[in-house]
Amino acid sequence: MTWSTDSIIPLLAKATREDLAILKVHSHPNGFPQFSTLDDKSDGELFDSVFGWTDSTFPHASAIMLPDEDGTMFGRAILPDGTFQQLDSILVPGDNLHFWTANDIGKLPSFTQRHAQLFGLGTTRKLREMAVAVVGCSGTGSPVIEQLARLGVGRFVLVDPDKVEEKNLNRILNSTHEDAVLGRLKVEVMSRAITEMGFGTEVEIIPEDLATPEAVKKIAECDVIFGCMDGVEGRHRLNRLASFYVLPYFDLGVRLDADGEGGINGAFGVVNYIRPDGTTLNDRGLYTLEQLKSAGLLRTNPKAYREQVEAGYIRGVAVDRPAVISINMQIASTAVNEFLARLHPYRSDDNKNFAMASTSFFHGFTRRDAEESPSGMFFNNIGKGDVYPLLEMPLLSDEGIT
């Protein structure tokens, strides 16, 4: 195979300017499932000149596509010393989630048998090989974790800075009175529950919010994100993170409005599936930039925030809304089913038509909205990976400037 180097010159210039990695992809139409000796030679030559040109110490990569039904891909990193290192997995998060791993985990654990009957061994294996980040381990987060763990997800990164309180016991699965009395961290309670299932699942806990570089880096190493938080700042940041690290992001939201006299003004739950290159939560009207600003002000300068709310310049950020376990669990199930349907497309309709699933418990209906054309708000960030400061946010620099 030969190809002109004309196409690569502008890419090299861009890669040098922004310290990006070059990924070379080619196909093996005959289905040959590994790198050939010819590939070794051509990758060696190409990346030798790439390293010579860009002067970077970060690895580049080379991948191969096969013509099978699954569109299998595999690849390797090319290190500055010219050696190759196999990529453990490749994830392509479009409307469907394509996920291929290099390792054979062998026999599946027997607890997965009954859902493997429905989803097949392939999908069940993928779940076992996947790492999932769940941000927020409370009302919707805990039932998401419970379901994913029993579906056989192999590794979790759990993020939540809060401790269990008495007022949480109405909805956090596996939390106990003792946890509330002792003030155990929510992430510890979740980790304990997963460990006690005895599936050998790996769990990493991060008792912090998304304002720390540590949390961002650990989430970035996962394959899928579930956002189970209240508040617009965390949502905005996860959406941004999903673009930088090319990750699929499922966002869950529940909103209950009581009239204070036993009546309900509104009861609403929504699951959004966000593609890294698709519409953002902001595009979909989940929050406005003004709300984002007020949430930021509340965090950085509570006094100025109160003054602005009182003067009527901004609307207050609601705290301590009502919360009901049955509604949370339904929304959590919708989100997990959405994830399964994208990993193992089985619905009669295309996945692009399920970008947003909203349920009104008040009106008694669920509607779905299709993916639309994105504003491109995060387009410049797609696939940039680690930058300094992380996510190009001053908040995440060493000094932690807000």
Q: Which residues would be at the binding site for Zn ion (CB under 5 A)?
A: 39
- 82 or 316, CB closer to Zn ion? 82
- The beta strands (E) that lie in 224-292 are given as 224-227, 249-258, 264-274
On the 0-12 / 13-18 / 19+ scale of CB atoms within 10 A, 211 is: middle
Query: By the 8 A CB rule, do 134 and 156 touch?
Result: yes
On the 0-12 / 13-18 / 19+ scale of CB atoms within 10 A, 358 is: middle
* Placement of tokens 């984002």 in the chain: 292
Query: By the 8 A CB rule, do 191 and 141 touch?
Result: no
- 39 or 146, CB closer to Zn ion? 39
* Placement of tokens 């609307």 in the chain: 315
Whole-number minimum distance, CB 1 to Zn ion, in Å? 7
* Placement of tokens 């609601």 in the chain: 318
- What is the spatial distance between Cα 101 and Cα 125, in angstroms, rounded to a whole number? 9
According to DSSP, residue 139 is labeled T
- For Zn ion, the nearest residue by Cβ is 39
Nearest CA to 139 out of 323, 386, 376, 337 is that of 323
Fill in the amino acid letter for 180: A
3-state secondary structure of 397: coil
Whole-number minimum distance, CB 38 to Zn ion, in Å? 6
Query: By the 8 A CB rule, do 216 and 244 touch?
Result: no
Q: Which helix (H) or strand (E) holds 271?
A: strand 264-274
Whole-number minimum distance, CB 25 to Zn ion, in Å? 10
3-state secondary structure of 198: coil
Question: What are 74's two structure tokens?
Answer: 């595999």
Question: What are 88's two structure tokens?
Answer: 């453990």
Whole-number minimum distance, CB 28 to Zn ion, in Å? 5
